[in-house]
Structure 1
Amino acid sequence: MSSHPIRIWQAKLCHWVSQIGLVDTLLYAFKRIVCSLSNVVDFDKYYFVSQRLNNAPLLPEGKGKSFDIVEITSDSVPSHPCPRPVEVIKDRYQQGAKCLAVFKLQEFCGCLWFVSTEYKEDEFRCRYRLPNTAVWDFDVYVDPKYRFSPAFLKLWDEASFRLCSEGYKCSISRISAFNPVSLSSHKRMGAVEIGWACFLKIKSLQFSLASIKPYVHLSWRDEAMPVFNIQTTGNN
């Protein structure tokens, strides 16, 4: 009987290793341990991925005709359908972000956000600076009721079409290394990894280690936050 918990632990470990690899599994264990010890400590690892934009829809012809795409402007902040705090919504618009939402018979189904030039990370202290042919997409949300519907592909196809018409070539985003479902879904759509970054924050002290410049960074305040210059691959 005493070995039963050990077998359960081993099974969970093997599952995580098969999903995200040994290194990221160890980092995930580190995150669980340090974050459980104190509420002033936070840790995460992000992969940066680049998704090529194109005018060819991913949604099969004839699908998703009952869904409508609407750009929601900053005038709609008080009644914004995106399930985020009002202050967060305001900050996104102040950064120049745009929001596309998908509706079915006037019922909100989901939304996605994107911004060009630069994006301020909302979980740690840093900025991502983008090439002029790329946008940053973030906080893709689909209501649970519509997660197995054409809502997301309808939304993505419209965003891709609009951005291509404005001259953008790809969309960049960051995904937690500890979210294998999101990573695999992005890869199925053709996204490629272009870098990674780890963040450890203890109160106001933040340490970052990344595969892109600045590779190593230490800061105590917003004025000294790192700025990551994101570069896409030749295929994107």
Structure 2
Amino acid sequence: MTNGLRLTLAQLGWFNTALYVLARLLARASGGRWTLLRYLFVAQYVSDTPLAPLRGADIEIRSASAGDPLPRDYPRPASVVRARYAQGAQTLAAWRNGRLAGFMWLIAGAYQEDEVRARYCLPSARTSWDFDVWVRPEERLGWVFRRLWEAARQHLRRRGVRWTCSRISAFNAASLRAHAQIGTVRLGHAVFLRCGTWQWMIASLRPYVHLSRHPASFPHLMFDLPSQEPPCPHSNKSARY
């Protein structure tokens, strides 16, 4: 067993590692036309306790809008950004020394996924969806991630939101680690297999199984949030994936 495979096993576990290896084999064999993804869906309680008090003071958090120009090195296509704004999404960006250090996106009600064909639906105005949390690689050991989450916490609390939901790639060890640090409640999981224009989904949520043959066909996943707030906002155990 290679050192790389040992590290992946340690970070992801056997099941996710097996799917990750299968995903790479399918992508290679199909010339990139076949894509296998596994998502984990989690919720985090939006507490009234700051996440990172007095840390990362040199990081500036700004709210951007559709009319603002994108930084030249923004790591997402302009067409994807326009589609997110068209859905009503908002973004928070972290800046350090005049350079984009990270960002995250927020949306209320429902979110049309832009990596696979799926729509995520939330049951109440007290919930929100956060997605595409990105931190520049050289900033990932610093305070950018927590400063972004602190800004999001304040923004969501002002709107009366008490739970924010996320989807995490089961193949992204850094994202799994980061969400485990802030504490999450597990909502479900799904596997997507894209083969050209066709897409299969198997999920732990209704409709459980879905086949999409064209862009206008996609599953609607409804997420049930915990009925009560956790007794201590930062004591809820992170999910085991």
Structures share a fold, TM > 0.5?
Answer: yes
- Which structure 2 residues correspond to residues 120-135 of structure 1 after superposition, within 5 A? 120-132=112-124, 133-135=126-128
- Which structure 2 residues correspond to residues 11-26 of structure 1 after superposition, within 5 A? 13-26=5-18
Q: Is the 8 A contact 2:71 2:100 kept in 1?
A: no
Letter in 1 for 2:134: Y
- Counterpart among 32, 43, 47 of residue 40 in structure 2: 47
Aligned residue for 2:226? 233
Aligned residue for 1:164? 157
| CA spacing shift, 1:17–1:155, aligned 2, 3 Å | closer
Structure with the bigger percentage of helix = 1
Q: TM-score, normalised by structure 1?
A: 0.87
Aligned residue for 1:186? 179
| Residue 70 (str. 1) matches residue 84 (str. 2) | no
Aligned residue for 2:236? none
Aligned residue for 2:21? 29
Q: TM-score, normalised by structure 2?
A: 0.86
Aligned residue for 1:143? 136
| CA spacing shift, 1:25–1:81, aligned 2, 3 Å | closer
Higher alpha-carbon Rg: 1
Identity of aligned residues (%): 35
- Counterpart among 106, 115, 124 of residue 114 in structure 1: 106
3-state SS, counterpart of residue 212 of structure 1: coil
Q: Is the 8 A contact 1:119 1:136 kept in 2?
A: yes
| CA spacing shift, 1:32–1:79, aligned 2, 3 Å | closer
- Counterpart among 147, 152, 158 of residue 145 in structure 2: 152
Within 1, Cα distance between the matches of 2:157 and 2:80?
27
| Runs of at least 5 residues in structure 2 that lack an aligned partner in the other structure | 230-241
Letter in 1 for 2:14: L
Aligned residue for 2:90? 98
Work out the number of aligned pairs and report it. 227
Letter in 1 for 2:11: Q
Aligned residue for 1:58? 51
3-state SS, counterpart of residue 88 of structure 1: helix
